[in-house]
Copies of this chain bind each other. A is one copy, B any other.
Amino acid sequence: MANQNIKPLKMGIIGVGVGATQIMPNMEEMPEIDLMAAADTNPLVREAFQNRFPEAHVFGSAEELCNDPEIEAVWVATPNALHCPHTVMVANSGKHVVSEKPMALNMHEAEAMVEAALANNVKLLCGHTLGFSPPVMEMRKIILSGELGPLKALNNWAFTDWMLQAREPDELDESLGGGVLYRQGPHQLDSLRLLGGGMVKTIRGTTGRWWPERNGVGYYSAFMEFEDGVTANVTNNGYGYSMTSDLTPWSDELGKGLILGYTHDERVEIREQLKSGSRDEFAAKHDLRIGSDHERRFWRETTSEIPPWKPA
């Protein structure tokens, strides 16, 4: 559907982590985008990026990328605590900006980001969240059509093995935007707000830190009431040895819900390694980064047997 006459947007990425590996394949497929630059503090990552994109500009800092006059828009995929400062920096450099979810750690940060975008007259987008996924878009379409009458209530459960997956310290530390509430909450809560129609009037809930070997929030559960009386019940359990995505669509168009796809035995083994402190997190994380076998096989070698998700 792309207009072949448009001039591609020259984009850069700040922070080439595991999240970025999930976005790059889509960028590459879009003729509207020319992924031409990246910045990362990790030299191994920079090297892998350069190997894959030999003509790209590669930088060791966000500042250098912002100073590159050719880049028109930037995807900020750095750790959560850096979304605000990096977004403000990009906006101040006069480039359009996409901030990974969560947009910010608090309202103060979010407002600073909006103000920077307005002051510099650039576009600011928070992306991506589950709200953009085909199943959620389809639900929204059905709700807006009125075919089933007015929306009455929402229920959403996510059981994942998030706490078993390879984690860097900032991914667990709440003060840096770590834990499932900051890292998975945007997917669920933004989808529920998209489907429920906007503003939440009341919320009552809890967060749980249940494993000493993973000092962060791995569970939340809440009851929400929207302004129009619609209610939502939501649970996210990252301590699951199971994945609700085994039952229902989640994640991308290719149905690749199970990012890691541990077997039950692997899950038990990882937990034991976490308990005993013998798990090599750095290696486990590195195995998911750009340049790894996992990254190539899972994100780039599209299995053509899996058709794009369609409503039943």
- The answer to whether B155 and A210 have CB atoms under 8 Å apart is no
- The answer to whether B221 and A153 have CB atoms under 8 Å apart is yes
Q: Which residues on B sit within 8 Å (CB–CB) of A202? A: 204
- The answer to whether A210 and B152 have CB atoms under 8 Å apart is yes
Contact of A206 among B208, B222, B225 (CB under 8 A): B225
A233, B208: Cα distance in complex, Å: 14
Q: Mask for A194-230, Cβ within 8 A of B = 1, else 0?
A: 0000000010111010100000000101110100000
- The answer to whether A219 and B152 have CB atoms under 8 Å apart is yes
Interface status of A184 (Cβ within 8 A of chain B): no
Whether A155 touches B221, Cβ cut-off 8 Å, given contacts A233-B233, A233-B235, A235-B233, is yes
A225, B205: Cα distance in complex, Å: 9
- The answer to whether A233 and B219 have CB atoms under 8 Å apart is no
**Nearest chain B CB to A150's CB is how many angstroms away?**
9
- The answer to whether A206 and B153 have CB atoms under 8 Å apart is yes
Interface status of A188 (Cβ within 8 A of chain B): no
Interface status of A231 (Cβ within 8 A of chain B): yes
- The answer to whether A233 and B221 have CB atoms under 8 Å apart is yes
- The answer to whether B208 and A223 have CB atoms under 8 Å apart is no
Interface status of A309 (Cβ within 8 A of chain B): no
Q: Mask for A216-259, Cβ within 8 A of B = 1, else 0?
A: 00010111010000010101010000000000000000000000
Interface status of A157 (Cβ within 8 A of chain B): yes
Chain B residue nearest to A202 (CB atoms) is: B204
- The answer to whether A152 and B208 have CB atoms under 8 Å apart is yes
Q: Which residues on B sit within 8 Å (CB–CB) of A219? A: 152-153
A237, B233: Cα distance in complex, Å: 12
- The answer to whether A231 and B223 have CB atoms under 8 Å apart is no
- The answer to whether A235 and B152 have CB atoms under 8 Å apart is no
Q: Which residues on B sit within 8 Å (CB–CB) of A225? A: 206
A residues adjacent to B (C-beta < 8 A): 152-153, 155, 157, 202, 204-206, 208, 210, 219, 221-223, 225, 231, 233, 235, 237
Q: Other CB < 8 Å A-B pairs besides A152-B219, A153-B219, A155-B221, 14 of them?
A: A152-B210, A153-B208, A153-B221, A153-B235, A153-B237, A155-B235, A155-B237, A204-B204, A205-B223, A206-B231, A221-B231, A222-B223, A222-B233, A223-B223
